[in-house]
Amino acid sequence: MWGRWLNDLIYRRTKGQKVYFSIFAIYFSINLQILYHKRNYMSKELSTRAANYSEWYNELVEKADLAQHSAVKGCMVIKPYGYAIWEKMQQALDKMFKDTGHVNAYFPLFVPKSLFEAEETNAEGFAKECAVVTHYRLKSDPNNKGKLIVDPDAKLTEELIVRPTSEAIIWSTYKGWIQSYRDLPILINQWANVVRWEMRTRLFLRTAEFLWQEGHTAHETKAEAIAETEKMLHVYADFAENWMAMPVLKGIKTANERFAGADETYCIEALMQDGKALQAGTSHFLGQNFAKAFDVKFANKEGKQEYVWATSWGVSTRLMGALIMSHSDDKGLVLPPKLAPFQVVIVPIYKGEEQLAQISEVVFRMKKAMEAKGISVKYDDRDNQRPGWKFAEYELKGVPVRIAIGGRDLENGTVELARRDTMEKETLQQAGIEDKVAQLLEQIQDNLYQKALALREAKTTTVDTYEEFKSVLEGKTGFVLAHWDGTSETEKKIKEETKATIRCIPLNNKQETGTCIYSGKPSTQRVVFAKAY
């Protein structure tokens, strides 16, 4: 016993002397970390955007009940409130697709490897991030009761790739559908999930599995396919601006950033509050690449065989990330009315059951009037939370308009109306509230767009020298308009040195003579650079 005590003592002293300083250092760093955690997680406040933008984003996504990390690394659980927003997006987009002549269909999750590799550029582009199915059965582990192992006898003769995108499986199918020009165009969209094995993921912005829609169309002529590609780009831009209240630049990608297997990639690019760009949607002109890879030909009017022209276009749950980062503030989410799961929340403030009943009567009347105008309303009469708690909760969740009604209001025939975007409050008459709210929702939708647009404009800089270029990227951030010599080499060098990429060459870009900021070679137009998500 004494020996052990002595041993312990010696051990301690030795250890203590050796690592004294590092323990000291670790002690302080741990303390700092604990303080940091306490501030962010014990309090009901979010981190601020200014203090740590990415921390703010992560906390917001989880605290506003949009999504959470799952048991599967890199994959998220989209929670009901977050999914409700996605459903709103889906509904709006789905209608826009159908209004432009498209129909929905569904193709398999798995792609046989031989089909996947048929279009070489596309296959190579995605190869390093594919999940692969090699077996079709498990069995009990003979050496470990209650556990399972992959049955080595159940190896697939051909591996199945979990789709990272569906061109291969779809074009192998289209081959059987197309014989004549009369079978064209094919205008199909599918709502699906895809898997891309990303090294590093972030909720909504980059997850290993994500939800999206992918349109895949087949056309007789090159011109028609390009028109389709451009049409869908405009649909995306329309959706981003009019539903998400998020201004976007429309443009084309440089060869470096082009979709693997496309002849041209069109995109919409948005700017987030932290000055980083986010690719919000892409529309690809695929030329005849997939038609040739899968041998999809049609007889034209002259009876001659020709390869089909193709497009594909998609937006994903990444739009959720774009939506969050476009409008939200340090109090939480801010949703544009057109995509809010409910646009108005009504909170009663009451003393006793009897008064609640009186208030509820007024509320039901207002709710009905608002719903008749197509406004979605939630009445939160739960008694287990007090009004102040509810106010904070719905601010965190970004509900555009809040109506509070209490005893005072019953006497005066009024309500308190609060808007989420500006946090302004006003007292209004109950009569005709539905018109006022309808008008206010439109104002909020418009205000969010204008605010985002003003921010983008403030964060767009025209530069003429590389020094200026670098200093803007480091300090002010945002979109940087600069001359570029048109070569991939220059683009790569700039990326290596500054981490900025060419987000797009805007459609209908102004032509002007200048010199490349990097190489000094002549240039005919400015392109849009930024650091991107």
Partner RNA sequence: CGGGGCGUAGCGUAGUUGGUUAUCGCGCCUGGUUUGGGACCAGGAGGUCGCAAGUUCGAGUCUUGCCGCCCCGACCA
Quote the CA–CA distance of 462 and 168 in Å, as a whole number.
Answer: 41
CB of 71 to RNA, least distance (A): 8
In the list 386, 476, 492, 521, the residue contacting RNA (rule: CB under 7 A) is: 386
CB of 317 to RNA, least distance (A): 11
- The H-or-E segment that residue 238 falls in is helix 222-242
Q: Which is nearer to RNA, 220 or 264 (CB)?
A: 264
Q: Does 13 bind RNA (CB under 7 A)?
A: no
Binding mask 203-242 for RNA (x = CB under 7 A): ---x------------------------------------
Quote the CA–CA distance of 273 and 76 in Å, as a whole number.
Answer: 24
Please enumerate in sequence order all residues whose Cβ is within 8 A of that of 11, keeping only pairs 6 or more positions apart, or say none.
Answer: none
**What percent of the residues of the chain are helix, what percent strand, and what percent coil, each to the nearest 5?**
40, 30, 30
Q: Does 42 bind RNA (CB under 7 A)?
A: yes
Q: Does 259 bind RNA (CB under 7 A)?
A: yes
Q: Which is nearer to RNA, 280 or 340 (CB)?
A: 280
Q: Apex CA 208: angle with CA 206 and CA 212, to 5°?
A: 70
Q: Does 59 bind RNA (CB under 7 A)?
A: no
- The H-or-E segment that residue 436 falls in is helix 433-458
In the list 351, 475, 510, 511, the residue contacting RNA (rule: CB under 7 A) is: 351
CB of 497 to RNA, least distance (A): 11
In the list 175, 391, 460, 525, the residue contacting RNA (rule: CB under 7 A) is: 391
Helix axes 433-458, 352-372, angle to 10 degrees: 70
CB of 443 to RNA, least distance (A): 18
Peptide bond just before 164 cis, omega within 30 deg:
no
CB 132 within 8 A of CB 155: no
In the list 101, 374, 388, 520, the residue contacting RNA (rule: CB under 7 A) is: 388
Q: Does 413 bind RNA (CB under 7 A)?
A: no
In the list 37, 135, 139, 492, the residue contacting RNA (rule: CB under 7 A) is: 37
Quote the CA–CA distance of 185 and 182 in Å, as a whole number.
Answer: 8
Task: Pick out residues in 422-441 that bind RNA (CB under 7 A).
Answer: 423, 425
Q: Does 24 bind RNA (CB under 7 A)?
A: no
In the list 50, 383, 475, 510, the residue contacting RNA (rule: CB under 7 A) is: 383
CB 341 within 8 A of CB 81: yes
Please enumerate in sequence order all residues whose Cβ is within 8 A of that of 14, keeping only pairs 6 or more positions apart, or say none.
Answer: none
Select the span of 110-118, 123-131, 224-232, 448-456 touching RNA (CB under 7 A): 123-131
| β-strand pairing of 305-307 with 264-271 | unpaired
Select the span of 32-40, 82-90, 106-114, 291-299 touching RNA (CB under 7 A): 32-40
| β-strand pairing of 344-349 with 401-406 | parallel
CB of 182 to RNA, least distance (A): 32
Q: Does 396 bind RNA (CB under 7 A)?
A: yes
Contacts of residues 454-462 at CB distance under 8 Å and 24 or more positions apart, as own/partner, are 455/271, 455/273, 456/247, 456/270, 456/271, 459/271, 459/275, 460/271, 462/526
Q: Does 19 bind RNA (CB under 7 A)?
A: no
Q: Which is nearer to RNA, 107 or 126 (CB)?
A: 126
| β-strand pairing of 414-419 with 425-429 | antiparallel
Tokens 């009761």 locate to 145
In the list 99, 157, 199, 303, the residue contacting RNA (rule: CB under 7 A) is: 199
Helix axes 318-327, 80-99, angle to 10 degrees: 110
CB 119 within 8 A of CB 168: yes
In the list 6, 10, 19, 30, the residue contacting RNA (rule: CB under 7 A) is: 30
CB 205 within 8 A of CB 321: yes
In the list 49, 88, 102, 196, the residue contacting RNA (rule: CB under 7 A) is: 196
Select the span of 79-87, 107-115, 138-146, 408-416 touching RNA (CB under 7 A): 408-416
Q: Does 372 bind RNA (CB under 7 A)?
A: no
Q: Which is nearer to RNA, 53 or 110 (CB)?
A: 53
Binding mask 438-477 for RNA (x = CB under 7 A): ----------------------------------------
Task: Give the bridge partners for 505, in sequence order.
Answer: 252
Tokens 């020298």 locate to 465
CB of 298 to RNA, least distance (A): 27
Q: Footprint of RNA on this chain (CB under 7 A)?
A: 1, 4, 8-9, 12, 26, 29-30, 33-34, 37-38, 41-42, 44-45, 54, 58, 69, 72-74, 125-126, 128, 164, 196, 198-202, 206, 257-260, 262, 265, 282, 316, 349-352, 383-389, 391-393, 395-396, 404-410, 416, 418, 423, 425, 499
